[in-house]
Structure 1
Amino acid sequence: MNKLFTNLTFQVLVAITVGIILGFVAPDIAKEMKPLGTIFINLVKMLIAPIIFLTIVLGIAKMGNMKKVGRVGGKALLYFEIVTTLALVIGLFVANFVQPGANVNLQEIKTGDVSEYTKEGQEMDWVDFFVHIVPENIVGAFAEGEILQVVLFACLFGFALASFGENFKKPTIQFCENLSQIFFKIVAMVMRVAPIGAFGAMSFTIGNYGLKTLLPLGKLMVSVYTTMALFIFIVLALICKIYRFNIFSYLRFIKDEILIVLGTSSSESVLPRMLDKMEKFGCSKSVTGLVIPTGYSFNLDGTSIYLSMAVIFLAQVFGIDLSIWQMVTIIGILMITSKGAAGVTGSGFIVLASTLSAMNLIPLEGLGLLLGVDRFMSEARAITNLIGNGIATIVVAKSEGEFDEEKNRIVLEEMRNKSQTEVA
């Protein structure tokens, strides 16, 4: 029994449940719990930049072969583009088939102010995105937690370090490894308060938005959740089967991370742990260090499904019939805009705003219809993104011969034994 109470999965589940109950019974008190979730996410965010930097530098320096680094990066980006495009197409198909916005009464939905998002959405384009990848200064990139900027600098640093002889590289690599272990130790300390963060975030969500907000847009929510579940257990499961690993074993291995993301609605809250978990699962440090951070900006499977379904939903609400070519255009626009807003606060609305601006068919004010329900769908987006990034890492590692099958077998066996012991 003591083992059960000290289990992180159990603690987070209890925290989420208590948060939902508090938000429903005492919404005013629940709203005041928001700082608990914010503090936890900030604790994790402060570790993301240095951990990504150290992981990538160590991966590239140890890999040594610069052609291999480029090949791994190229494979990852190609995989990201194929899978996210597939997610966009699936989202469009399901939204057109289910038609969640066909019978929505605009008078029943509480709209919100989206001027902040529409302004940023109209200003954002892919040129700005690529310019933004290059930081004005390194300290600023780390201070602001700009993942892609840190990735770029880490790659350059790793390439430079790899070009030196062993006498120079060895002590630098050893220093980075020691520093990395310290940061992961801090991550372990921070994760002890994960249940408190999950409780605070969930309490605020339910207390602030209320379950009644879901009713008018219930069909959209059910459609989005169902589509993402089908994407995970059919599309991603098929990819897992092709590369000869079991999706259910993988999901059990990252169950703690999934629950933390469920409670906090942020996949960033487990980024450092995913780097560590994927290495333990069998992926090499070099592949993990390149694929996971890049995937957080380019491999947004859940976000892609949500965005395509949201555009079709708004078109249906306003009675706009989209042609096949217009839908193809939507996919093309989203392939660009979904990358352009990666890592930006409120990125879902910014991407939607930029997409609607480019289409010039659906009123931007329609975004206000989604404000109340968006928070409840963000968990599904974040969890799908998280699962997809882990699978992408395994796929690239296996394709490069950088996956340790024996290590994977041992860790899964240990996981099964641990589960049996806890049940007993």
Structure 2
Amino acid sequence: MSSEKISKKSVFKNYKSLILLVLGIVVGCIVGLIYKEKAVVLKPFGQLFLNMMFTAVVPLVFFSLSSSIAKMTNMKRLGKILRHSLMVFVITGIIASVFIIMVVSVFPPAQGVEIDFGGYEEPAKMNILDQVVSAISVNDFNLILSKGAMLPLIIFSITLGYCIRFVSKGNENNSVVSFLDIMAEAFMKMIRIIMLYAPIGLGAYFAALIGEFGSQLLGAYSRAVIMFYPICVAYFLTAFTLYVYFAGGIKGVKVFYKNIFPSVVTSLATQSSIATLPTNLAATKRMNVKDDISNIILPMGATIHMDGTALTSLMKIAFLFGIFGLEFSGIGVWSTAILISVMSGVILSGIPGGGMMGCIMIVSFYGFNPEVLPIVVTIGLLTDAVATMINSTGDVVVSMMVSRTVDGRHWMEKTDGNKEEILGSSAEVSLN
């Protein structure tokens, strides 16, 4: 067999999972376009995949986080990772907001748009302090084992890992730590098994999604929605490239793009940063990000780091300014818009119902007619897929940047003496 044939066979083997996943999604989209509303009947097959994924992800987060913290010998390193993570979360959120402001200032998203506001029922007033308490805690232990309580689960897991580390008094052979490690590996294996069903499950999910919402993309405010997709792609290619260049230079850029596309596909298909978490964990492992960094940043980022949400919030604000004939310009207007967007992407994203709260905050802060709330909510719905892609892949970017600031410029170098191919096999969505 010639070397060329061997190379082609190797490429197909590496990309087989990704090819099958994309093929399943494409077929699903075609089915949705052909059968329209009738394709919704396939939604249960897609929901089955998401249910299995969510069921496995919650314990995966618990065991991977608690085991990583429990194995740490340097608690100062943990504090450094957390500080650097939060700092990068805020900085990237501000940069994302400034990026989209420059775009919408040149291309107003609501230009020529006329919308009938329709009816509106004022939502119940929400106590922000109660929402914050709900964001970081639950009132019963069984409630913490839920995808709806990811931030309380993350806090609980980090605290438990610290306590195990403290009571073990440096015992590296602690049986509890070994148990946590084994369980983390077991749930990663379960994720790999679930991903075998991904082409069918995601294909069915996309068929239902296109069948149900496809026609809305051609609605009165399609200009704003259509604009948003190339904005996110441009942000991905420019900002993320610069971020990973900071993290690892040219080698960092190559490593990122060699390994990120499974996360891109999974996030677009599932529209969930949490469902993309296993794929992100596998990607950072191939990038040689240390476990104590990836196992902390990725679950935390899936909950409270949302650059895509910041982009969406700015688009909603600019769109509403256009509807009401206001000029979206000036330092004062831009500053408040950035503040609201960063809050939506870093703070409110961790609060239950944070997406709706962000929309209400935008409408109430600027004194807009409350009848526009359904409009901004719908814009969020139609842009959710690509915003989620920015959110979830951005977590991988942050893990690389924090690796650079915590471990130094040579963080990508192998520490076990094996210097082979750090770029690795990038496209295995099956999470090898």
Go from structure 1 to structure 2 and tell me whether the alpha carbon gap of 1:8 and 1:365 turns closer, same or farther (over 3 Å shift). Answer: farther
Deviation at 1:294, TM superposition (A): 1.2
Deviation at 1:413, TM superposition (A): 4.7
Distance in 2, Cα, partners of 1:417 & 1:346? 33
Confirm or deny: 8 A CA contact 2:261 2:427 kept in the other structure. Answer: no
Deviates more, 1:238-247 or 1:19-28: 238-247
Deviation at 1:138, TM superposition (A): 2.8
Alignment of 1:11-410 (within 5 A): 11-107=20-116, 119=123, 122-123=125-126, 125=128, 128-130=131-133, 132-163=135-166, 164-167=168-171, 170-211=174-215, 213-243=217-247, 244=249, 245-322=251-328, 324=330, 325-342=332-349, 347-357=354-364, 359-370=365-376, 374-401=380-407, 403-406=411-414, 410=420
Higher helix proportion (structure 1 or 2):
1
The two structures, once aligned, show a CA RMSD in angstroms of 2.8
Measured against aligned partners, the alpha-carbon deviations of 1:95-145 in whole angstroms (never above 9, x if no partner) come to 2221010211215xxx78875xx737x516366325530232332111354
Deviation at 1:55, TM superposition (A): 1.4
One-letter amino acid of the structure 2 residue matched with residue 405 of structure 1: E
Identity of aligned residues (%): 20
Structure 2 partner of 1:422: none
- Number of residue pairs aligned between Structure 1 and Structure 2: 411
Secondary structure (helix, strand or coil) at the match of 2:425 reads: helix
One-letter amino acid of the structure 2 residue matched with residue 335 of structure 1: V
TM-score by length of 2: 0.86
Measured against aligned partners, the alpha-carbon deviations of 1:37-85 in whole angstroms (never above 9, x if no partner) come to 2221121111222111211222212222111111110000000001111
Where do 4+ consecutive residues of structure 1 move more than 6 Å? Answer: 111-114
Deviation at 1:304, TM superposition (A): 0.7
Confirm or deny: 8 A CA contact 1:161 1:169 kept in the other structure. Answer: no
Alignment partner of 1:415 is 2:425:
yes
Measured against aligned partners, the alpha-carbon deviations of 1:249-295 in whole angstroms (never above 9, x if no partner) come to 41331322221222222222221232233123201111111111111
Secondary structure (helix, strand or coil) at the match of 1:54 reads: helix
Confirm or deny: 8 A CA contact 1:225 1:377 kept in the other structure. Answer: yes
Confirm or deny: 8 A CA contact 1:205 1:375 kept in the other structure. Answer: no
Deviation at 1:376, TM superposition (A): 3.6
Q: Which runs of 5+ in 2 are unaligned?
A: 1-7
One-letter amino acid of the structure 1 residue matched with residue 144 of structure 2: A
